Amino acid sequence: MTSSLEPTTTAPLPVVLDVDTGVDDALAVMFAVRSPRLDLRAISCVAGNADVDQVVANTLAVLDALDAPDVPVGRGAERPLVGPSRDARHIHGADGMGDQRLPASARLAADGGAIDLMRRAILESPDPVTLVPLAPMTNVALLLRAYPEVRDNLAGIVLMGGAVEGGNATAVAEFNVWHDPEAAAIVLGAGVPVTMYGLDVFSQVVVEAQTYEVLHGDPDPAVALAGRLLAHSHDVIRSDPRVGHGGLLGDAGAVCMVAQPDLLTTGRWPVHVELAPGRSRGQTVVDRRFVLGEDAVHGVDSLGHLVDVAVGVDAEGVRDLFLTTICAGPGASQVDDAARAVQR
């Protein structure tokens, strides 16, 4: 199996994002629009950090700030495959995006909805698409079940979700997997190469205050918005010693990995999504053993699906890639200041 992060061409890589915008999803959209390494073909929206209509509104508003009117946006699932939707507004604000009060977009979501949009974006791409779920995987699971033929034009799936160590939604489960564990299990088992950018690396990539404050005053509305979103993120997570020294890039880090895979270290292990009710529901159990266990010897448990699991990240490299990429937009006036602040 080839890793979903092994580049095979120097042409921009076609990508489709699945988002629940989302403070860090907004940063991810910014990077995907502005990266010369990526060809963003569509964005699908799903309930997660906020309800799906709010997610669509937020995503369109971010694309307006980026002056990216041609990126199609689809409205997807309004709840997980099983159970109710449970938002993360206590982290992402009442509007799901740090209460930024962005102007409402005049654009509408694509006719036909997110699943049809993803299907068309993948099948119509001349080169294989990398699918990048940054949210509960309800849309992606529905897509793979309804239209399994899309797998033939997928280079891989690079998802933000799961964790080797502890969780955030619960002690052991990461939010995107916890919100829809059945969907995550379907995605991991779909026969497409998967890279899991989980909490272990997600929590390591931050932008320090002295850098994001430079972005605040930028005349480019997207760059200024990135500064405000990073400040919101910093305010919310200050108490977490793992990430408390800056604003979290979060989902944007996973998209940076598609553009520059050598910033990530992965190991290939079986991963099982815990589906049983109870405290461990939604946990990603990553089997890093070297020696056959009694479970396999006695046939009491099946192996999970092989996944490239992120275990290390060049956090400064990702931060620098993100900043130089988003600052290289039409209003690139502050790029030198931002770069100097990065280098300190």
Write out the residues near ligand BDR by the rule CB under 6 A: 22, 24-25, 49, 88, 91, 134-135, 160, 168, 174-176, 250-251
Q: Which does 175 bind (CB under 5 to 8 A by kind): Ca ion, ligand BDR, none?
A: ligand BDR
Phi-psi region of 15 (alpha: psi -120 to 50; beta: other; left: phi over 0): beta
Q: Which does 174 bind (CB under 5 to 8 A by kind): ligand BDR, Ca ion, none?
A: ligand BDR
Question: Using the rule CB under 5 A, is 135 a contact of Ca ion?
Answer: yes
CA dist 126 → 12, 38, 120, 123 (Å): 12, 14, 12, 8
Q: Which does 162 bind (CB under 5 to 8 A by kind): Ca ion, ligand BDR, none?
A: none
Three-class secondary structure of residue 154 per DSSP: strand
Q: Looking at the DSSP assignment, which residues form a beta bridge with residue 272? A: 285
Q: Which CB sits closer to ligand BDR, 25 or 64?
A: 25
Q: Provide, rounded to whole angstroms, the least separation between the CB of residue 134 and Ca ion.
A: 4
For residue 213, count CB atoms less than 10 angstroms from its CB and return exposed for 0-12, middle for 13-18, buried for 19 or more: middle
Q: Provide, rounded to whole angstroms, the least separation between the CB of residue 268 and ligand BDR.
A: 22
Query: In angstroms, rounded to a whole number, what is the distance separating the alpha carbons of residues 180 and 334?
Result: 40
Q: Which does 63 bind (CB under 5 to 8 A by kind): ligand BDR, Ca ion, none?
A: none
Query: In angstroms, rounded to a whole number, what is the distance separating the alpha carbons of residues 11 and 177?
Result: 32
Q: Provide, rounded to whole angstroms, the least separation between the CB of residue 32 and ligand BDR.
A: 14
Per-residue binder mask for Ca ion (CB under 5 A), 10-49, x = binder: ----------x-x--x------------------------
Q: Provide, rounded to whole angstroms, the least separation between the CB of residue 303 and ligand BDR.
A: 25
Q: Which does 144 bind (CB under 5 to 8 A by kind): ligand BDR, Ca ion, none?
A: none
Q: Provide, rounded to whole angstroms, the least separation between the CB of residue 63 and Ca ion.
A: 16
Q: Which CB sits closer to ligand BDR, 135 or 190?
A: 135
CA-wise closest residue to 62 among 118, 18, 21, 114: 21
Q: Which does 250 bind (CB under 5 to 8 A by kind): ligand BDR, Ca ion, none?
A: ligand BDR
CA dist 87 → 45, 237, 248, 251, 254 (Å): 14, 17, 19, 17, 21
Q: Which CB sits closer to ligand BDR, 120 or 228?
A: 228
Residue type, 240: D
Question: Using the rule CB under 5 A, is 134 a contact of Ca ion?
Answer: yes
Residue type, 207: V
Residue 206 phi/psi, 5-degree rounding, is -130, 160
Q: Whose structure tokens read 């915008």?
A: 21
Q: Provide, rounded to whole angstroms, the least separation between the CB of residue 19 and Ca ion.
A: 6
Which residue is at the shortest CB distance from ligand BDR?
175
Segment 229-288, which members bind Ca ion (CB under 5 A)? 251
Q: Provide, rounded to whole angstroms, the least separation between the CB of residue 135 and Ca ion.
A: 5
Instruction: With beta carbons less than 8 A apart as the criterion, state whether 329 and 66 touch.
Output: yes
Q: Which CB sits closer to Ca ion, 134 or 163?
A: 134
Total residues binding Ca ion (CB under 5 A): 6
Q: Provide, rounded to whole angstroms, the least separation between the CB of residue 118 and ligand BDR.
A: 18
CA dist 107 → 23, 56, 58, 63, 295 (Å): 20, 10, 11, 10, 53
Instruction: With beta carbons less than 8 A apart as the criterion, state whether 19 and 45 touch.
Output: yes
Q: Which does 115 bind (CB under 5 to 8 A by kind): ligand BDR, Ca ion, none?
A: none
- Token representation of residue 165: 């160590």
Binding residues for Ca ion, per CB under 5 A? 20, 22, 25, 134-135, 251
